Amino acid sequence: MGMGVDVRNQMAKRAAEEIHTGMVVNLGIGIPSLVPNHLSSETKVMFHAENGITGMGPSPSKGKEDENLCNAGGFPVTLTKGGSYCDSAISFGMIRRGRVDLTILGSLQVSNRGDLANWIVPGKKVPGMGGAMELAQKAKKVIVVMNHCDKQGNPKIVSSCTLPLTSSACVDLIITELAVFRVTEEGLLLTELFAPYSLETVVTKTGCEFKIRETVRMIPY
Amino acid sequence: MENPFGKVTSLEAVMEYFHDGMTLMFGGFGGVGSPPDIIDGILEKGVRDLTLIGNDTGFPHIGIGKLVSQQRASKVIASHIGSNPFAGQLMHDGKLEVEFSPQGILAERIRAGGVGLPAILSDIGLDNELVVKDKPYISLADRRYLLETALTAEVSIVYAKKADEYGNLIYDKSARNTNPLVAMAGDITIAEVEEIVPLGTLSPDAIITPGVFVDYVILSKGVNWKWAWE
């Protein structure tokens, strides 16, 4: 089941609510890259890229690309006022030193204690961890934005990850096309539902037990 | 051009440093900031059995990816190979050994090699069996760390925007990435640059890599591949 652009943007829009002025934010590829489209112009954020950009701006218009100004995925970006370049060691120094406030990542699996498995499917893709381990372990807040189930329909939110971990107990918030969960000391807490879906649907499609907040916020589509 | 230090030279002249079985460290991130002419020179010379050390394996036709997809490497130390499907296939087929290192730790291992340190202590990837494999643990102030060894290479190749005749380098925007680190970690470091200027032309405050670390400078013909976004 592929996801429409609207669904992806709905998830990105919800993730954007977590971003506030003054933050340093690192975005993963895919849905996380849509998040800046949902920020108000009053929210002043420094977007960080692993390849050494602080203050990354939107993609340039066609014909204005600079081959030496690209994001970590290799695609052209721009630099905002106050932005700067640094080498890869400094860039990751910012992450490990706790100066990156928030990272928004995709994932293959997340456990109910916030374990993240997003870098390898044994016997299938072998992409390497890239910068995901540092970001997952050291960013102050980690948000996962992902499909609720994989392409075979298996839950991606599970009681224990079966895939190799990127980092354990690192995820703070999970946003899927069905619901939003906070990772707490007692496990997952469902806080929000996307309007067309029922709690029953979420329970059926989730691979672990979770608590439900007294007042669940319904997010309209 | 006066060339008082003898560092400014040609691609042909530096090709003698590339040979089968060598360790080669390269600057660049997804091909951005990788030296195109030197990579083509290595391809044309037919050098094989390389141990490549760098951030990633580029794209099949971009950056160091050219050497990987034409099976010139027997080993790669990198953080990511996902943008080059040949690398994954060769690894799967047992034709390419891949050592994965978390991206920032890889950068620090290269930096450590470049500044004369034997290793660093790290707490990145302690939960991952692939990262911790065969690495000693060190206890410090009641916490456990991994010993991550420094990386150096027989030759480092980097790409920069400008060099002067001493090999002082400045880089262009995000094409800086791993280049200043890689430049320090080669026994011999060769910089391919877009422009070579006389001594005294670069602002001393703007120089990122002091020429102390650079042995040779060659003038680039420029990037000759088509980017994935083009």
In Å, how far is A160's CA from the nearest CA of chain B? Answer: 14
Q: Among residues of chain A, what percentage have pLDDT more than 90?
A: 86
Is pLDDT above 80 for A5? Answer: no
Please list the alpha-helical segments (H only) found in chain B.
11-14, 36-45, 65-69, 85-92, 103-114, 129-132, 179-185
Higher pLDDT, A126 or B147: B147
The string of pLDDT tens digits covering residues A93-123 is 999 999 999 999 999 999 999 999 988 776 6
Q: How far apart are CA B102 and CA A152, in angstroms?
A: 30
Q: Is A72 a member of any domain?
A: no
Q: Would you state the structure tokens that stand for residue A130, as one six-digit string?
A: 């890239």
| Cβ–Cβ gap B81/A128 under 8 Å | yes
Q: What is the pTM of this model?
A: 0.95
Is residue B178 within 8 A of residue B110, CB to CB? The reply is yes
- Whether pLDDT at A157 is above 50: yes
In contact, A29 and A53? CB cutoff 8 Å: no
A63 in a structural domain:
no
Asked if A133 and B102 count as a contact pair (C-beta separation under 8 A), the reply is yes
B positions 30-59 inside 8 Å of A (CB):
30-33, 55-56, 59
A186 is catalytic: no
A17-52 in b/e form (b: 16+ CB < 10 A) is: ebbeeebbbbbbeebbbbbbebbeeeeebbbbbbbb
Task: Give the chain B residue nearest A53 (alpha carbons).
Answer: B174
How large is the average pLDDT for residues B195-216? 98
- A130 and B56 in contact by Cβ < 8 A? yes
Q: Is B114 exposed, middle or buried (0-12, 13-18, 19+ CB in 10 A)?
A: buried
Of B88, B103, B129, which is closest to A131 when you measure between CB atoms?
B103
The predicted structure's pLDDT at residue A1 = 40
Asked, for residue B229, whether it belongs to a domain, the answer is no
Instruction: Name residue B196's beta-bridge partners.
Output: B163
B215 assigned to some structural domain: yes
What's A18's domain CATH number? Answer: 3.40.1080.10
Is the per-residue pLDDT at B11 higher than 90?
Answer: yes
Kindly state whether residue A66 falls inside one of the protein's structural domains.
no
3-state secondary structure of A37: helix
Model confidence band, residue A63 (pLDDT cutoffs 50, 70, 90) = very high
B80 contacts chain A (CB < 8 A):
yes
Residue B28 to chain A, least CA–CA distance (Å): 9
Structural domain containing residue A102: 5-39+98-219
Q: The domain spanning residue B54 has which CATH number?
A: 3.40.1080.10
* C-alpha A77, offset from chain centre: 19
Its domain, for residue B20, covers 11-219
With a cut of 0.95, is the ipTM above it? yes
Structural domain includes residue A88: no
Total domains in the fold of chain B: 1
Are B162 and B197 in contact, with CB atoms under 8 Å apart? yes
Tell me the nearest-neighbour CA distance from A68 into chain B, angstroms: 5
Q: Is residue B15 part of a domain?
A: yes
CB-CB neighbors (< 8 A) of B80 in chain A = 127-130
Within a domain: B228:
no
- Structurally, chain A folds into a number of domains equal to 1
Residue of A nearest to B79 (CA): A130
Catalytic residue among A17, A50, A192, A214: A50
Chain B from 127 to 146: CB within 8 A of any A CB: 127-131
Residue A44 lies in a domain: no
What pLDDT, on the 0 to 100 scale, is given for residue A30?
Answer: 86
